[in-house]
Homo-oligomer: A and B are copies of this chain.
Amino acid sequence: MNDFSDVVGRGLNEQDLRTVLLQVGRERYHNRHPYHRRMVEGAMSKTELQAWALNRYCYQAAIPRKDAIILSHAEDPAFRAAWRKRIEDHDGEDGRSGGIARWLHLATSLGLESEEVKSQRLALPATRFAVQAYVNFCASHTLLEAVASSLTELFSPDVIAERVPAMLARYDFVRADTLAYFDRRPDQAARDSDFALGYVLRYADTPERQQKVVDALVFKCDVLWAMLDALDYAYGHDGVIPPGCFRPETNG
């Protein structure tokens, strides 16, 4: 296991920096987490999937605010025009037809109440802390680091390609319609991460900046990983649900 805290030396060329960033994902992206593994192996209770959907909603709901912070730090209209698409994708034309609405549909398809999910009040505190850490990171770091922290999207098409067919095959209460959120995400994520990676490789042009973009991606992997830690601790085998959080009425 690399800790990636000192990988740049006297500086990397673009290709080597790209290789390091991909290596961060290979070692630290949350597709390696036990909670994800159990999800795709078909070993989860409906409660565990509900808890995942309910908590992950907090992340989805924060993403456009995070992207608005990035917009607010960007001087270049062309950059902003490209990055703005992310907000459009999540919020949709009218605020009710984008990615967040589709995630809400996923949650309600699993049997959760819409208002309960949207209120976020039954989410795990650790979820809220991790999501807020991500928003704060983008507010308190350079534009380059905020862009680099989005590069987990490089790895998301693969995880979606694994998750969707596995869930359809292994959980009889999951239908194609349940997972409609994921239909558009691979293309959107590929477009967005191509842009972000190009930006990072172009502007991370000193050893110090290169280390900072690697650190930013490690940080973001930590955010996603910590969210699954908390889910597994609360809802996994012999889980301990923190006070005040989502409790299943029945274990489906």
The residues of A with any CB-CB pair to B shorter than 8 Å are 1, 3-5, 27-28, 33-34, 121, 124-126, 128-130, 132-133, 136, 218, 221-223, 225-226, 229-230, 232-234, 240, 242-244
Contacts and interface: CB of A to CB of B under 8 A. Distances in A.
B226 A232 contact: no
A124 B136 CA distance: 18
A55 to B, nearest CB: 13
Copy number in the complex reads 2
A139 B244 CA distance: 24
A243 B221 contact: yes
A39 to B, nearest CB: 15
Contacts of A225: 125, 242-243
B229 A234 contact: yes
12 contacts: A3-B244, A27-B243, A125-B223, A125-B225, A129-B132, A218-B244, A221-B243, A222-B243, A225-B242, A229-B233, A229-B242, A232-B233
Q: Main secondary structure on chain A at its contact with chain B? A: helix
Contacts of A129: 126, 129-130, 132-133, 223, 226
Contact of A229 (B33, B130, B230): B230
Contacts of A242: 222, 225-226, 229
B230 A226 contact: yes
